[in-house]
Amino acid sequence: MSNNHGYKLYQGNEACVEGALDAGMRFFAGYPITPSTEIAEISSQKLPKVGGKFIQMEDELSSMAAIIGGSLAGVKSMTATSGPGFSLMQENIGYASIAEVPCVVVDVQRGGPSTGMPTSPAQGDVMQAKWGTHGDHPAIALTPNSVQETYEYTIKAFNIAEKYRTPVILLMDETVGHMREKLKLKASSEIEVVERKKPSCSPKEYVAYRPDEDMIPPMASFGEGYRYHVTGLTHDETGFPTNSNEISGKLIHRIVDKVEKNIDDISFFEEYKMEDAEIVIVAFGGTSRAVKSAVDEMREKNIKVGMFRPITIWPFLEKQISKVADKAKEIYVAEMNLGQYFIEVDRIAGKKCHVNKINKVTGELFTPKEITDAVTGGRL
């Protein structure tokens, strides 16, 4: 949050906090973990200055529980972590999903599994962001590739969470979290801030989980005079647990459909030199920066190559990937893991063209040469 709307030098994690504050975050609960710790540190410094609250919790499980409570009380809430902590948050991410509690979870990815490589970049949490908590549930994850995008997509993460009453994951990586670049902060008049839909009825008439036509129930805050029950069990429209198979099934379908059927509203991506591309490299986050340079180098050698960069990792951009495969002769998926996003790309594009992996799990960034060598067989 700043009164200086010119360019300034910011770290990615710092930009995340600025975006959260501009989106209206007023509560942060977390536990420090490399490479996300700066998000907690800066939040602890800045939140009290705008009337917000910061709490360092005893672990990541309780951090997730705390932001659920903060959101239920009507305050926009966020936590930040990395792989090991993200694992501990999964139980309560599921709770937030079924209880329809809007919140933002930042995962600055590092090498794994377990404690892995704390200071090294990785993209190994892609599938965990989708399937980390058990059962069928809505999953939204956004992946920026720059400091500027980190600021802007943190704001979008809050807006999506509030609009659809669901947790949203900002899936960063150590590269983006710790890099420093110029950032242009926006004036409040330039920022779209979405607030959760509130009930228009009296407290006596309020039915907590009765959805409107958009499948999203209005959300009263605790302390506003509206009484309702919140549970992680499947529940009826009053919020109380139910043993009805029919009601339980309708609930799960609704919380998934409210996201999946509005996918066009949350589909963000970049197409780079795709107009005549016969070879397409799919890449996201920090990896996409090396890929963009590689595309430029190969274009100079008259190789018709382009990059498709999903910013919305989940829900998966099936429609866009299918269109890419319609024109491409060959697709490569570059990622700092052993092929997690490749599985989804191959599921859709593999029916139309050959899909290849470019993987790296050494705790190092891709270089443009590694990308060009993978595509050209080292002939460039």
Structurally, the chain folds into a number of domains equal to: 2
The domain of 371 spans 269-376
pLDDT tens digits for 163-220?
A: 999 999 999 999 999 999 999 999 999 999 999 999 999 999 999 999 999 999 999 9
Where residue 367 sits, what CATH number does that domain have?
3.40.50.920
Domain boundary among 215, 235, 266: 266
245 by DSSP, 3-state: which?
Answer: helix
Name the DSSP class of 315.
S
Where residue 138 sits, what CATH number does that domain have?
3.40.50.970
pLDDT of 292 reads 98
290 and 218, same domain (yes or no) = no
273 and 248, same domain (yes or no) = no
330 and 301, same domain (yes or no) = yes
Domain boundary among 266, 283, 306: 266
- CA 61 – CA 178 distance, rounded (Å): 24
Which amino acid is it at 132? G
pLDDT of 4 reads 52
Residue with tokens 């590092």, as numbered in its chain:
110
Domain boundary among 266, 293, 308: 266
Tokens, residue 351: 């029916």
Tokens, residue 15: 């930009």
pLDDT of 378 reads 78
Q: Which residues of 31-61 are buried (b: 16+ CB within 10 A; e: fewer)?
A: bbbbbbbbbbbbbbebbeeeebbbbebeebb
- CA 64 – CA 66 distance, rounded (Å): 5
249 and 302, same domain (yes or no) = no
- CA 12 – CA 111 distance, rounded (Å): 18
Whole-structure pTM value = 0.96
178 and 307, same domain (yes or no) = no
32 and 123, same domain (yes or no) = yes
Beta strands in 166-282 (DSSP E): 167-173, 180-184, 269-272, 279-282
283 and 191, same domain (yes or no) = no
114 and 156, same domain (yes or no) = yes
- CA 89 – CA 165 distance, rounded (Å): 18
How far, CA to CA in Å, does 107 sit from each of 14, 86, 168, 222? 14, 7, 11, 28
- CA 274 – CA 272 distance, rounded (Å): 5
355 and 369, same domain (yes or no) = yes
Name the stretches of the chain with pLDDT < 70. Answer: 1-5
Q: 103: part of which helix (H) or strand (E)?
A: strand 103-111
Return phi, psi of residue 122, to 5°.
-160, 165
198 and 335, same domain (yes or no) = no
262 and 273, same domain (yes or no) = no
Is the separation of the CB atoms in 308 and 282 below 8 Å?
Answer: yes
Is residue 258 exposed (0-12), middle (13-18) or buried (19+ Cβ within 10 Å)? buried
pLDDT of 1 reads 47
90 and 120, same domain (yes or no) = yes
